[in-house]
Amino acid sequence: PWTSYYQGIRKCNVLLANIEDATVYATDAEKAGWKAQAYTLRAFYYLQLVKRYGQVPVVLQDYGTDHDYTNEKKSPAGEVVKQILADCDLALATPSSDDFSWDLMDNQWGIMTKALAWAIKSQAVTFAVSPLFDDGTFTMDEALNITKEALSECLSNGYEL
């Protein structure tokens, strides 16, 4: 999983670094939706890594394929979760559009949505306060409030338990 997730993170970083300057025949709203999906996907990849390994390097730029990644230092799990929450917040600040919305169409398997961004936030902070990963970065009350907000947002946008 390590290699696959970091390959995905690199692809997200490449898109985020280049989408504004790329010659793409897309509207600003489409580009914003793609960026929001990239932030959500990067958060998802980091969530998967922190669940499996705890401390992992946080790489937020494209160093290229010839970079020696073995020199990257691992960040504490709480710092990784902070980055996950920041990526989700950036995504969620994007206005809803066809490219990043609450709804998932039948032909859009694998598309990131606002509901997924909220779910990632909730799960990441829950892991951060668990006995296995708790390094004091988050409190149980913070985790409760983030999860409560995630549930409220999803319920108010058509999702049900």
Give the residue from 89, 75, 79 showing the smallest Cα distance to 146. 89
Calpha distance 21→38 (Å, rounded): 16
Q: What is the pLDDT of residue 108?
A: 61
Residue 5 has pLDDT above 70, yes or no: yes
Quick check: 14 and 38 in contact, CB under 8 A?
no
State the pLDDT confidence band at 107, using cuts at 50, 70 and 90.
low
Q: What is the pLDDT of residue 105?
A: 67
Average pLDDT over the chain, rounded to an integer: 91
Q: Is the dihedral of CA 72, 57, 49, 19 positive or negative?
A: negative
Calpha distance 122→15 (Å, rounded): 25
Q: What is the pLDDT of residue 109?
A: 65
pLDDT in tens, 44-82: 999 999 999 999 999 998 887 788 878 889 999 999 999
Instruction: Give, in degrees to the nearest 5, the angle at Cα 103 between 100 and 107.
Output: 90
Chain position carrying tokens 């401390």: 55
